[in-house]
Amino acid sequence: MNHPTRLLAAAALFALAAPASAADKVSDGVVKIGVLTDMTGYYSDLAGPGSVLAAKMAAEDFGGKVLGKPIEIVSADHQNKADIASNTARKWFDEEKVDVVADLVSSSTAGAVMPVAMEKKRITLLSGPATTAFTGEKCTPYNVHYTYNNWMLANGTGREVVRQGGDSWFFITADYVFGKSLEEDTSNVVKAAGGKVLGSARHPSPGTTDFSSYLLQAQASGAKIIGMANAGADTVNTIKQAKEFGITPNQSLAGLLVFISDIHSLGLETAKGMYLTTSFYWDLDDATRKWSKRFLEKHGKMPTMVHAGVYSAVTHYLAAVKAVGTDDADAVIAKMKATPVKDFFAKNGQIGPDGLHRHDAYLVRVKTPAESKYPWDYYAIVKTIPAAEAFPSVEAQKCPLVKK
């Protein structure tokens, strides 16, 4: 072979080598995102198939590829059982090359998956879980708590409601870790804002359909506000029965964790006047309306904040992967924390060093039927809570990973 040919051969080899090294940077040649959610149980409407759809929309909108490699979305049902969640995540990481897990929905499943993800060095994007400690004492280097947490709910609803005059509270609480911590967080906020907590009743969950007894206790206490530290079917039944027992004209209900899917199933006649805090509302502005209408077409229902959070988190993740040129967890998470989030979901979003995504939140009041002009016109925005007030500060969170 003479020199020009050798040179040509070398150049060809070089050309072939270059994309190969880029391919090595994306593990297994595909960016696989696993949506682990509750498809059949109590939280399937606020997350579930809608979350999977949101992730798929995010992948599509991103172009279906990142760094020349395809994006694949897989999903599984953890049925709200921590052990199924843990096993599925482990299998995904060990066998099926999943790079990141999204949604998770409930705090117990998230708490089970986060240690597994940390061990295997994969990112978790929490959209549904609420436990504040996930970016506090239980924080992990690969976790992002994206959509909301108990602190946000407690402060948003608790503080604002006290400011508006609701200074005596009685709690109806789901008797498990989530409910009790939500009650505790909100009690602290109410007391700090100058209010009083007159009592609480803890009901078994699931397993309670009749709340009349607890509502009667709340009524007897004379509290101005009945705080519902529960979620899903429990909250819906409590609200319905509060109306039935004539509680609502004299006392107000504060829904500590309520989603638009709950309001939709209750109807405005029953839910009107209730205060709640949310990270997202479809009818906020043109950008949210545009995205939500696309979602509505495919899903048949308007998105909850969990759905919108999944879309935004997945998009943010993909953008970070593209920017750093690899899907290696350490590099990507660093980039995610370094880049502010500016999309229809978060106007001023920033993922802190503890993994908590701090963004604006909204205190809303459920409209009366007369005020509602078109389908899904459910919320009146009472106040926009800026990110710094809506979420606890990095110092307050005390995540052990954050260096002082």
- Please report, as ranges, the residues that interact with another protein according to CB under 8 A: 39-46, 49, 74-77, 81-84, 86-88, 90-91, 94-95, 106-108, 111-112, 115, 175-178, 201-204, 206-210, 212-214, 216-217, 219-220, 232-233, 236-237, 240-241, 244-246, 261-262, 264-267, 270
Contact 144, 333 (CB under 8 A): yes
Report, in Å, the least distance between residue 52 CB and another protein. 9
Alpha carbon distance 114, 138 (integer Å): 9
Contact 101, 115 (CB under 8 A): no
What is the chain's alpha carbon radius of gyration, rounded to the nearest angstrom? 23
Sheet of 69-77: strand order equals 65-66, 69-77, 31-37, 100-103, 123-126, 143-145
Report, in Å, the least distance between residue 230 CB and another protein. 13
Specify the residue, 24 or 210, whose C-beta has the smaller distance to another protein.
Answer: 210
Report, in Å, the least distance between residue 41 CB and another protein. 7
Specify the residue, 94 or 330, whose C-beta has the smaller distance to another protein.
Answer: 94
Specify the residue, 26 or 308, whose C-beta has the smaller distance to another protein.
Answer: 308
Specify the residue, 208 or 397, whose C-beta has the smaller distance to another protein.
Answer: 208
Specify the residue, 344 or 379, whose C-beta has the smaller distance to another protein.
Answer: 379
Specify the residue, 34 or 309, whose C-beta has the smaller distance to another protein.
Answer: 34
Alpha carbon distance 156, 48 (integer Å): 26
Alpha carbon distance 224, 398 (integer Å): 34
Helix axes 305-324 and 286-299, enclosed angle (nearest 10): 110
Report, in Å, the least distance between residue 348 CB and another protein. 31
Report, in Å, the least distance between residue 125 CB and another protein. 19
Specify the residue, 198 or 233, whose C-beta has the smaller distance to another protein.
Answer: 233
Report, in Å, the least distance between residue 51 CB and another protein. 12
Specify the residue, 155 or 200, whose C-beta has the smaller distance to another protein.
Answer: 200
Specify the residue, 165 or 246, whose C-beta has the smaller distance to another protein.
Answer: 246
